[in-house]
């Protein structure tokens, strides 16, 4: 398993990082930045899918709550109704799960290429591609950048602080607001705890990894602002028309056109700007109202 992971992920990332280092004037920081951008670009469809899914789930919360209340004694029907509604608990996780090994791979590639110890340098030697002999000339990587040795933890605490700040803001932006008080509380706690946890890790991890994390956060924030209109539309598209409530303001038939995830055939957009669904639950709700 370890070998497959090495072969498919860590080795390509390690060699790509070294190749970029050579191409970018032997600047390891530039290599990390460019590789982070490339990875972010490759995983963009997955990130968007995951974000859309989060917003969709968040928008459907009232409907799900209503269903849970209604079928609290009949879990099987509840499951079936939730499925009809388009609820898929894996749809948000799956893209993240796919990014999971990439993150580990990149972590390994950075620590491997920085090779601070004899063992790690020896191991690097068994992972560089033989068909790229010029890569070996780059070793050992020049790990000095401005005030830092990229292979060492930051004794000035600047990088851990930047990691905390960027993680906090990126986290805050990415997490869709929740109407559920429990969820809201959990989100708030996570938004505080996660950055602190990452900052804590950075006290003992190489500066190079911290730089990757900061760049990744900043790219994530930029990505968020660039895709926000689309996310808002996705949210509006899936907003619950409980009790015949109007869909989010500004969502017209034209703008409701899904960009990332085509809505199921159940969704019909009327020229009134209201979004109706053929879900039996909604029909019943509508009748009640």
| Gap between the Cα atoms of 80 and 60, Å rounded | 15
Q: How far apart are CA 274 and CA 241, in angstroms?
A: 8
Applying CB under 8 A, among 15, 51, 54, 111 the residue interacting with other proteins is: 111
Residue (23 or 122) nearer to other proteins, CB: 122
- Cβ atoms of 171 and 165 within 8 Å: the answer is no
- Both tokens of 120, joined, read 């790690």
Q: Is 220 helix (H, G, I), strand (E, B) or coil?
A: helix
Q: Does 182 bind other proteins (CB under 8 A)?
A: no
Euclidean distance between CA atoms 289 and 273, whole angstroms: 19
147 binds other proteins (CB under 8 A): no
| Interface with other proteins (CB under 8 A), residue from 103, 173, 221, 242 | 103
Residue 224 binds other proteins (CB under 8 A) = no
d(CA 239, CA 16): 43
Using DSSP's 3-state secondary structure scheme, residue 260 falls into: coil
* Integer Cα distance of 117 and 122 in angstroms: 9
Number of residues that bind other proteins (CB under 8 A): 41
Smallest distance from the beta carbon of 128 to other proteins, in angstroms? 8
9 makes contact with other proteins (CB under 8 A):
no
CA nearest to 201, candidates 105, 111, 101, 97: 111
Residue 125 near other proteins by CB under 8 A: yes
Q: The tokens 């209340």 sit on which residue?
A: 69
Q: Which is nearer to other proteins, 75 or 101 (CB)?
A: 101
Lay out the site mask for other proteins across 161-180 (x = CB under 8 A, - = otherwise): ------x---x--x------
When asked if residue 3 is in the footprint of other proteins (CB under 8 A), the reply is: no
Provide the binding-site residues for other proteins, judged by CB under 8 A: 93, 96-97, 99-100, 103-104, 107-108, 111, 116-123, 125-126, 128, 130, 133, 136-137, 139-140, 149, 151-153, 167, 171, 174, 190, 194, 197-198, 201, 204-205
């Amino acid at each position: 398993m370890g070998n497959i992971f090495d072969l498919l992920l860590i080795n390509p990332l390690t060699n790509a990082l070294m190749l970029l280092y050579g191409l970018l004037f032997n600047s390891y920081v530039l290599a990390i930045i460019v590789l982070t951008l490339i990875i972010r670009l490759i995983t963009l469809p997955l990130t968007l899918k995951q974000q859309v899914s989060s917003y969709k789930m968040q928008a459907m919360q009232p409907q799900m709550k209503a269903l849970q209340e209604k079928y609290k004694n009949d879990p099987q029907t509840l499951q079936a109704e939730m499925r009809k509604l388009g609820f898929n608990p894996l749809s948000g996780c799956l893209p993240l799960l796919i990014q999971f090994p990439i993150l580990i791979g990149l972590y390994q590639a950075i620590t491997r290429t920085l090779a601070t110890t004899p063992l790690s340098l020896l191991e690097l030697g068994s992972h560089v591609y033989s068909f790229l002999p010029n890569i070996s000339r780059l070793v050992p990587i020049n790990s000095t950048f401005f005030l830092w040795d990229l292979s060492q933890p930051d004794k000035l605490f600047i990088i851990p602080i930047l990691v905390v700040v960027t993680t906090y803001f990126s986290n805050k932006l990415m997490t869709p607001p929740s109407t559920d008080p429990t969820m809201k509380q959990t989100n708030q706690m996570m938004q505080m705890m996660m950055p602190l946890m990452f900052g804590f890790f950075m006290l003992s991890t190489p500066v190079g990894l911290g730089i990757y994390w900061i760049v990744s956060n900043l790219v994530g924030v930029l990505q968020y602002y660039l895709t926000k209109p689309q996310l808002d539309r996705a949210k509006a598209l899936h907003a619950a028309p409980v009790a015949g409530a109007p869909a989010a303001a500004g969502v017209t038939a034209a703008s409701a056109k899904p960009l990332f995830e085509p809505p199921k055939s159940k969704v019909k957009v009327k020229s009134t700007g209201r979004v109706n669904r053929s879900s039996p639950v909604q029909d019943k709700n509508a009748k009640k109202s």
